Structures are given as structure tokens and as C-alpha cells.
Amino acid sequence: MKNRRPAGMEPIAYRAKLFWILLTLAIYGFLLGSMSYFLTPLTRIWCYIAVPMTVIALYLALYYLPALHRSMCYLLDDRQLLVQGGIFFHKKQVMNREQIVYVSVVKTPAYYLLGTCTLLVQAAGAQIVLGWLPKQKANALLYRLSEREEGAL
């Protein structure tokens, strides 16, 4: 798949892609193991369920999640924050820096293990979520977005 990231836009963390691929495969393995425990393996109903489930898991792990990761990017300049991404439904969010009211960094136990975090940027009536950013990059964005020009409130 062609990379749709415009020049100057930064990607989301690589670890996020690996995490979601491994999680997809782990869920698939759990479901397949549960099916073989409750249903007799290699019967007709087992094959009707296992084959489509295998196709879906492989599609998610090998195509959709890597393509989604490649499409997710952001750009922060002096006037605005631009976030875009998506495969089937491309989403683009733009927020002027003057409108930003609140910026926070959110970390969960999974984020600690992966060395990532989520940046929440809020304005009146709008919110932008930048997930799976490396800690250093998220903190740098937090301080950069929190800066105010002299004379501003």
C-alpha cells in the first residue's frame, strides 16, 4: 500500500503497531483454542467457523493494522495542530493553537510497558487524541502546546 503521509508529518509510535498485531494474534489463538476445546476439531461446523476467523485475523494482522499505522500522523506548527489517518474512512482534524484550552498526557499500565502514552488536546467543543506516542515526544508536544505567546492570557 502506498504511504499517504504528507511531507513534514510525523508518524505514531512503531510499538503501537506491534502491540496491536500481537494482541490480534493472541485473541485469535485464544478463540481457536477455545473452539477446539468446546467443538470437535476438524468437523464441518469447526471448519465453517475457523476458516473465516483465520482469514479475518490474518487480514487484520498483515494488512489492516500496518496500513492503519502508516496512515496515522500529525503536524504541529506555529498556528495549528493537524492530525490525520484512516484506511477506509480517512479522518482529518485541525485545531488552531489559539483555541487550545487544555493539554494532558494519559498513561495506562499498557502504555508503561510499551513506553508510550496518549496526548489529549482539548478546546471548547472539540478534542484531539494522539494515541501511542513515545513518552519523550508526548512530553515535548505537551510543553510546546502549553506555551503561550507573551501578552496572551
Q: Is 50 a domain residue?
A: yes
Which pLDDT value is given to residue 114?
Answer: 82
Average of per-residue pLDDT across 70-98:
90
Question: Which of the 8 DSSP states describes residue 153?
Answer: -
- Alpha carbons 90 and 5: distance in angstroms, whole number: 12
Take residue 151 and report the three cell numbers written for it. 501578552
pLDDT over 90, % of the chain: 34
28 lies in the same domain as 63: yes
CB distance 25 to 61 below 8 Å:
yes
Structural domain boundaries, residue 88? 74-146
Confidence check: pLDDT of 122 > 80: yes
pLDDT bracket for residue 1 (50, 70, 90): very low
Confidence check: pLDDT of 148 > 90: no
- What pTM was estimated for this model as a whole? 0.74
Confidence check: pLDDT of 11 > 80: no
CB distance 118 to 133 below 8 Å:
yes
58 lies in the same domain as 108: no
65 lies in the same domain as 82: no
* Cα dihedral 69, 118, 138, 141 sign: positive
pLDDT in tens, 38-56: 877 778 888 888 889 999 9
Crossing angle of helices 14-38 and 44-59, in 10° steps, is 180
What order do you get walking across the sheet with 100-106 strand by strand? 100-106, 116-123, 126-134
- Show which of 52, 70, 88 is a domain's final residue: 70
